[in-house]
Structure 1
Amino acid sequence: MRLPWRHPLLVPVVLCALAVLAARPTDAAEKRRDGADPGISAQVARLYEDAAVATQQYEKGRQEAEAQRARAQRLEALLDRERRDIAVLHEDLGRIARTQYRDGGGLPLTAQIILAGSPEELMRGQQVFSQANLAVNNSIEKSRRAEERLAKDEAKAVAAWQSLEKRKAELAALKTDIEQKLEEARGQLQGQADTSVAAGACRGAVRLDQPPTQVVGGWVAPVETYALSAGFGSGGSRWANRHTGQDFAVPIGTPVRSVGAGRVVKVSCGGPFGIEIVIEQAGGYYTQYAHLAAVTVDQGDQVVPGQWIGQSGTSGNSTGPHLHFEVRVTPELGSAVDPVPWLAARGVPLG
């Protein structure tokens, strides 16, 4: 009979590293250098930062889970072999019993003495009888040991699959918990952004701990993980003329990075772009980051490639969470160039 626990193992390994994150509260003592409380912005930023660390452990966790699944499958294979061996033992017992019956091995000793033609014949019969009994006893003992071993191995297999089921349930619970917390934090962050845009006044920069950056070539994409949506020059009812930038579809709160070294020349809250940042880059170009939920820089700040300058959102004239990114030859709207080949020429292909 087959064990009922055989199934593919589904392990969202990233969640193992998020267990601590799911329970970690916002540190009320974490303050801006100028005294402002980063609040929900810091909480969302930490969620993203810890998730990035967790993804580095994904492969290790997946390999460990696969090894555990392989061990459980090896136990199943062992059980299959043991079941077949026991079936063979049972066949041997039946064959020995049938042979004894045909050869008179089951006759009482008194009957064998009476029917024996000579002492030699009696001795031979007794020898055959003893050998048959020994074979039966050995087979019974071998079968008993095999069945005991089978029972132990079945218990091990059950425990292995139950362990996997328990871990899967724990991971599912963690996944649900972190998704709920992140969704709530995103909602609060965007709510603060909408309030700022409606008032036409920014809350000011939220100074967050910056992750270590390793930039090759001096340029990076404005977000680390993304899906490209509306491109430069796209037409549509949402824009007065043509789309002037490249949109990156990302969730609310995604860290937004400066694509290169430069100086912040504009931070504003209001109008069709919602919360936006404009940075003067090397070579006389300007980059714009719009529809943000929060900013982490102030006008006049110097920034380095890969530095977090804000968090994505859906403020202003936006139909959903995304980053609107532009490259301009002046700080103002109307001087945009296609940002995709511009970044590609600087060693940052998008796709």
Structure 2
Amino acid sequence: MRLSRRRPVLVAVLLCALAVLAARPAEGDDPHGSDTGSGISAEVARLYEDAAVATRRYEEGRREAEAQRARAQRLEDLLDRRRREIAALRADMGRIASAQYRSGGGLPIAAQMILAKNPDDLMRSHHVFSQAHLALNNTIVKSRRAEARLAADEARASAAWRALEERNAELAEVKRGIEAKLEQARQQLQGQADASVAAGACRGAVRLDQPAMRFSKPWVAPVETYQLSASFGSGGARWVNRHTGQDFAVPIGTPVRAVGQGRVVKVSCGGPFGIEIVLEHAGGYHTQYAHLAAVAVDQGEHVVTGQWIGQSGTTGNSTGPHLHFEVRVTPQTGSAVDPVPWLAARGVPLG
């Protein structure tokens, strides 16, 4: 149970915005191309952005829930103090009532007032009677006020907690809706990629809307968010020889970035690497991006650091969605070097 200061207008705006994202239909055509493949690639990229927004809003709500929980604990401590105050007031009333019972209630004092022999005795008896009556009334009033405050605080805290839970449930539902659409679009994208590989012909570059790129360094990781999987030099039944690159475990459709400025020297759709791109960089090094679901560049094109050059997938000799990344000293296979220290030497530690 938590008490929070609500911002209903802002919450309504956020929920409406997320609902629009979740309800947005998949587009069959891309503004940069007319084929269905371009449309689904662009839709996957847009849905990734929508999912990121939904996740961010949901995480903000979750963090707010944690802060609310802390405030609720403080409120609960306050309510406990008030409960103790009420118990003490009730104990006072009990003591007053017991004292009156032992003395016969107000009758002895009233009798003293009636039988008073002089004005001083009368005034003393009246004072004692008034003080006892006032003490009892004050105790009753304090107890009732404390009980009313306690009830109001409990109702306010309960209402705030319910509102927060409802809002977080709505955010979670919007997030699930976007992720379901994204998963469906990923499967469509991978299906088209598999068809291209089977035909041995690429569909051509899908011109994705590039994000604003403000990289302060000349080199970046090939994907923004990832988990490292098979590493350079690994052995196993999946490879004829040792593994020649570094694998990044990412979902289908993840934007793949050029690690540095360069030129596209190869785009191919077939063989063990499935859909792949090879870039040439200054100094004679080449980088390969394999098992893609789509390419966003053409052969001979120049790219800049961080530019989206394709989307990850699981084409070719792949056991699951990931990006196979290689660094070579020539465009051909067999000249690979370990990409992890190579990137680290250029200010891009992987982890």
- TM-score, structure 1 normalization: 0.87
- Which residue in the other structure is 2:187 paired with? 187
- Which residue in the other structure is 1:279 paired with? 279
What is the alpha-carbon distance in structure 2 between the residues aligned to residue 80 and residue 169 of structure 1? Answer: 30
What is the alpha-carbon distance in structure 2 between the residues aligned to residue 320 and residue 174 of structure 1? Answer: 27
The 5 Å alignment of 1:177-256 reads 177-256=177-256
Task: Look up the SS of the partner of 2:206 in the other structure.
Answer: coil
- Which residue in the other structure is 1:288 paired with? 288
Report how far residue 254 of structure 1 moved: 0.8
Task: Look up the SS of the partner of 2:107 in the other structure.
Answer: coil
- Which residue in the other structure is 2:174 paired with? 174
Does the 8 Å CA contact 1:26/1:42 hold for their aligned counterparts? no
What is the alpha-carbon distance in structure 2 between the residues aligned to residue 131 and residue 348 of structure 1? Answer: 82
Letter in 2 for 1:238: R
Q: Comparing 321-330 with 76-85, which one deviates more in the overlay?
A: 76-85
Does the 8 Å CA contact 1:197/1:316 hold for their aligned counterparts? yes
What is the alpha-carbon distance in structure 2 between the residues aligned to residue 113 and residue 141 of structure 1? Answer: 27
Q: Comparing 200-209 with 104-113, which one deviates more in the overlay?
A: 104-113
What is the alpha-carbon distance in structure 2 between the residues aligned to residue 41 and residue 177 of structure 1? Answer: 19
What is the alpha-carbon distance in structure 2 between the residues aligned to residue 196 and residue 163 of structure 1? Answer: 50
The 5 Å alignment of 1:287-306 reads 287-306=287-306
Kindly tell me: are residues 271 and 309 of structure 1, through their superposed partners in 2, closer, same or farther at Cα, counting changes over 3 Å? same
What is the alpha-carbon distance in structure 2 between the residues aligned to residue 68 and residue 342 of structure 1? Answer: 46
Task: Look up the SS of the partner of 2:237 in the other structure.
Answer: coil
Task: Look up the SS of the partner of 1:284 in the other structure.
Answer: coil
Report how far residue 111 of structure 1 moved: 4.6
Letter in 1 for 2:187: G
Letter in 1 for 2:279: I
Report how far residue 114 of structure 1 moved: 6.8
- Which residue in the other structure is 1:48 paired with? 48
Q: Comparing 73-82 with 245-254, which one deviates more in the overlay?
A: 73-82
Q: Deviations over 1:224-244 (max 9, x none)?
A: 111111111111111111111
Q: Which runs of 5+ in 2 are unaligned?
A: 3-13
Kindly tell me: are residues 204 and 112 of structure 1, through their superposed partners in 2, closer, same or farther at Cα, counting changes over 3 Å? same
Does the 8 Å CA contact 2:197/2:275 hold for their aligned counterparts? yes
Q: Deviations over 1:5-24 (max 9, x none)?
A: 47xxxxxxxx9785543233
Does the 8 Å CA contact 2:291/2:313 hold for their aligned counterparts? yes
Letter in 1 for 2:146: A
Does the 8 Å CA contact 1:190/1:293 hold for their aligned counterparts? yes
Task: Look up the SS of the partner of 1:152 in the other structure.
Answer: helix
What is the alpha-carbon distance in structure 1 between the residues aligned to residue 143 and residue 34 of structure 2? Answer: 78
Does the 8 Å CA contact 2:273/2:317 hold for their aligned counterparts? yes
Report how far residue 164 of structure 1 moved: 2.3
Letter in 2 for 1:177: G
- Which residue in the other structure is 2:145 paired with? 145
CA-based RMSD of the aligned residues comes to: 2.7
The 5 Å alignment of 1:1-351 reads 5=1, 20-27=20-27, 30-32=30-32, 34-37=33-36, 38-52=38-52, 64-107=64-107, 111-112=111-112, 120-351=120-351
Letter in 2 for 1:141: V
Kindly tell me: are residues 121 and 244 of structure 1, through their superposed partners in 2, closer, same or farther at Cα, counting changes over 3 Å? same
Q: Which runs of 5+ in 1 are unaligned?
A: 7-14
Identity of aligned residues (%): 76
Does the 8 Å CA contact 1:18/1:51 hold for their aligned counterparts? no
Letter in 2 for 1:255: P
Report how far residue 56 of structure 1 moved: 7.0
Does the 8 Å CA contact 1:220/1:305 hold for their aligned counterparts? yes
Does the 8 Å CA contact 2:218/2:260 hold for their aligned counterparts? yes
Q: Comparing 123-132 with 295-304, which one deviates more in the overlay?
A: 123-132
Count of matched residue positions in the alignment of Structure 1 and Structure 2: 339
What is the alpha-carbon distance in structure 1 between the residues aligned to residue 109 and residue 219 of structure 2? Answer: 99
Letter in 2 for 1:205: A
What is the alpha-carbon distance in structure 2 between the residues aligned to residue 241 and residue 42 of structure 1? Answer: 36
What is the alpha-carbon distance in structure 1 between the residues aligned to residue 50 and residue 179 of structure 2? Answer: 14
- TM-score, structure 2 normalization: 0.87
Does the 8 Å CA contact 2:113/2:125 hold for their aligned counterparts? no
Q: Deviations over 1:185-235 (max 9, x none)?
A: 211111111111111111111101100112233111111111111111111
Report how far residue 125 of structure 1 moved: 2.9
What is the alpha-carbon distance in structure 1 between the residues aligned to residue 169 and residue 206 of structure 2? Answer: 37
What is the alpha-carbon distance in structure 2 between the residues aligned to residue 62 and residue 241 of structure 1? Answer: 47
Q: Deviations over 1:65-84 (max 9, x none)?
A: 44444443333232222111
Report how far residue 175 of structure 1 moved: 3.1
Q: Comparing 233-242 with 70-79, which one deviates more in the overlay?
A: 70-79
Letter in 2 for 1:76: E
Q: Comparing 15-24 with 212-221, which one deviates more in the overlay?
A: 15-24
